Amino acid sequence: MLESIIWILLIGFFVGQIASRLKAPPLVGMVLVGILLGPQISNTIDSSILQAADSLRTIAVMVILMKAGLGLDREKLAQQGSVAIRLGFLPATCEAIVIALVAMLLLQFDFATGLLLGCIIGAESPAVIVPGMLRLKSLGWGVAKGIPDAILTGSALSDVLLLLIFSLLLAFLSQGATTVTLPGGITLSALQLLPFQVILQIILGVIAGLLTARILVLLLVKQNWTQNATQDTLVAAGLALLLVVLAEKFPIFSGYLAVMATGFFVIEFDAPLARRLRNSFDTLWVVAQIILFVLLGASIPLQILENVLLVGLLILAVGTLVGRMLGWYLSTLGSNWNWRERLFLLPGNSAKATVQAAIGAIPLAAGIEGGETILAIAALSILVTAPLGAWAIPTFAPKLLRKGEVDPTKVAIA
C-alpha cells in the first residue's frame, strides 16, 4: 500500500510537471499515470487503494470546493446572481435532455435510461472548473462582471440538480415508480417531489455551510483553539469533510454545496481567517489533485471504450454544442454579458471528470440495461473533456474575456 502511495505521488507529480512543460494541463499527465499504473495495464496500484478510491476522491473534491468557496466574491455574485442561478439549472438540464433524445436514436435506449445517461454526462467537474476559474480570478480575467464567480456557483448548483434526478431515475429503473403519501392523504410521485427536494437540498446546504462557518470562527478566532494556520486548516478540513459524510448518511442537504458555502461565509465573517485558510487549501490541493487525477485514470475502463467510441463522441458533441449552448444562451439572456463572454462558457463550463467517475458505474452495478454502455460513455467523457477543459480555460480566457482589477484580499494572486 505504501509503495502504491509513493508511486502515485511521485510519478503523478513529475509526469504532471512534464505535461506542464509541454504546454499541456498537468492533469493530462496525472490521468495518464493512473491509466498506466492501474488495473488496465500494469496493475501497480494496490487493490486496497483502488477500493478506497471513492473516499480519497471525496477528500480531494472537498479540498477543491473549500477553495472555491474561499474564492467567491459576494459583490460580484450579487451582481450576477440571476445568471449564476440560471447557469445552475438550464445548461445541465438542456444537455441531459438532448443526450437522452440522441441516446434513444443512436443506442435504442428508452427515454428514462437516456436521461440517466444525460444526468451522468451533464454534471460538471469541480476538479477542473474550480482551479480554472480561481486562476482566472487571480489574473483578473472576467472579474469586472463576476464571470468566474457565476460559473463557480452555477457549477455547484447544477451538480445538486443532476445528482438528485440521477437518484430518482435510478430508483425508477431498478425498482419501478414510487410514490409518497403526505399527511392529509395527498399522494405525490417522486417526479412531483423533485422540485421540493432540489430547493430543500440547496437551502439546507447553504444553512449548514453558514453554521459551520460560524463554528469555525468561534473555535479558531474567538476561542483561539489553534495556534497556527496548519491547525486552522486541520479543523476546517475536518468539519468540511464531516459535512460531506453527514450528507451521505442524511441526504436532506447537499454536502458539497455546504462545503462551498462554508468557505464563502468564512470570508464574510472573518476575512483574515479566510486568507489564511485560502493559502493552506492551495497547498493541500497540490497533493489532493495528484491523488484525484491518478485514481481517476486508474478507474477508467479502457477495455469497453472501443465499442462506443464514435457513438460516444457524437453524443458528447451534440450534448455540448446543442444542449449546453441552448442552456448557456437562455442563462445569459438579458444579462450584461457580450457575445465573447457567452462564448467563453463553451471552454469554461463543459469539463467532466469527478462526478462521472463517482457515479458512472452505478447503473451497471444496479443491473440496468445498457449499464455497460453508460459506463463506457462516462469514461469517454472524462478522457475527452477533462484535459480539453483544463487546456481551454486558460487558453481562451485572454481571447474572450476582459481583464479587470484584482482584489488581493479576496483571491490568491498568481
Contact (Cβ atoms closer than 8 angstroms) between residue 66 and residue 245: no
Residue-range definition of the domain harbouring residue 387: 55-285+301-400
Residue 25 counted as domain residue: no
CATH number at residue 147: 1.20.1530.20
**Four-point Cα dihedral 407, 408, 411, 413, nearest 10:** 120
Q: Which residues of 243-270 are buried (b: 16+ CB within 10 A; e: fewer)?
A: bbeebeeeeebbbbbbbbbbbbbbbeeb
Burial category of 80 from C-beta neighbours within 10 Å (exposed 0-12, middle 13-18, buried 19 and up): buried
Residue 375 counted as domain residue: yes
pTM over 0.85: yes
In tens digits, what is the pLDDT along the chain, a chain of 414 residues? 889 999 999 999 999 999 999 988 999 999 999 999 999 899 999 999 999 988 898 899 899 999 999 988 888 888 887 899 999 999 999 999 999 999 999 999 999 999 999 999 999 988 899 999 999 999 999 998 999 999 999 998 898 889 888 888 887 887 665 566 666 667 766 667 778 888 898 999 999 999 999 999 999 999 999 999 999 999 999 999 999 999 989 888 989 899 999 999 999 999 999 999 999 999 999 999 999 999 989 988 888 888 889 999 999 999 999 999 999 999 999 889 999 999 999 999 999 988 888 888 889 888 899 999 999 999 999 999 999 999 999 999 999 999 988 776 666 544
Residue 8 counted as domain residue: no
Residue 28 counted as domain residue: no
Residue 23 counted as domain residue: no
The residue among 231, 230, 236, 237 whose CA lies nearest residue 270 is 236
Question: Based on the structure, what is the number of domains in the chain?
Answer: 1
Contact (Cβ atoms closer than 8 angstroms) between residue 328 and residue 98: no
Residue 35 counted as domain residue: no
Contact (Cβ atoms closer than 8 angstroms) between residue 118 and residue 97: yes
Residue 335 counted as domain residue: yes
Residue 194 counted as domain residue: yes
The residue among 272, 247, 227 whose CA lies nearest residue 159 is 247
